[in-house]
């Protein structure tokens, strides 16, 4: 399959790419902000490790929010 260039995409495809990109950036920014504000003892593992994991598309921030934080009591 040949790579499509931005100009080859339909308006709907361009919109979809921009929406998904915005969601990804929002998730990552929220996760990084939470990680920065959270004390190290409330993070499962190294904060540096989680900062790198968060950079992995949609998977990283979701993993951080579901498995990287210690439940509040």
pLDDT (tens place) for every residue of the chain, 73 residues total: 788 899 999 999 999 999 999 999 999 999 999 999 999 999 999 999 999 999 998 999 999 999 999 976 5
Exposure letters 41-69 (e unless 16+ CB within 10 A, then b): eebeeeeeebeebbeeeeebbeebeeebb
Total number of domains in the chain:
1
Q: Can you tell me whether residue 56 is helix, strand or coil?
A: coil
1 inside domain: no
- Whether residue 73 is contained in a domain is answered as no
Q: What is the pTM of this model?
A: 0.83
Domain that holds residue 58: 12-68
Assess if residue 2 is contained within a domain. no
Residue 61 resides in a domain? yes
Give a yes or no: residue 6 inside a domain: no
| Alpha-helix runs per DSSP H in 1-73 | 11-37, 47-54, 59-63
Q: Is residue 59 part of a domain?
A: yes
Residue 3 lies in a domain: no
């Amino acid at each position: 399959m040949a790579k499509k260039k931005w100009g080859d995409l339909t308006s709907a495809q361009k919109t979809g790419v921009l929406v998904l990109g915005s969601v990804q950036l929002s998730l990552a920014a929220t996760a990084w902000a939470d990680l920065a504000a959270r004390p190290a003892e409330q993070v499962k593992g190294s904060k540096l490790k989680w900062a790198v994991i968060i950079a992995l598309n949609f998977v990283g921030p979701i993993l951080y929010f579901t498995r990287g934080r210690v439940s509040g009591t």
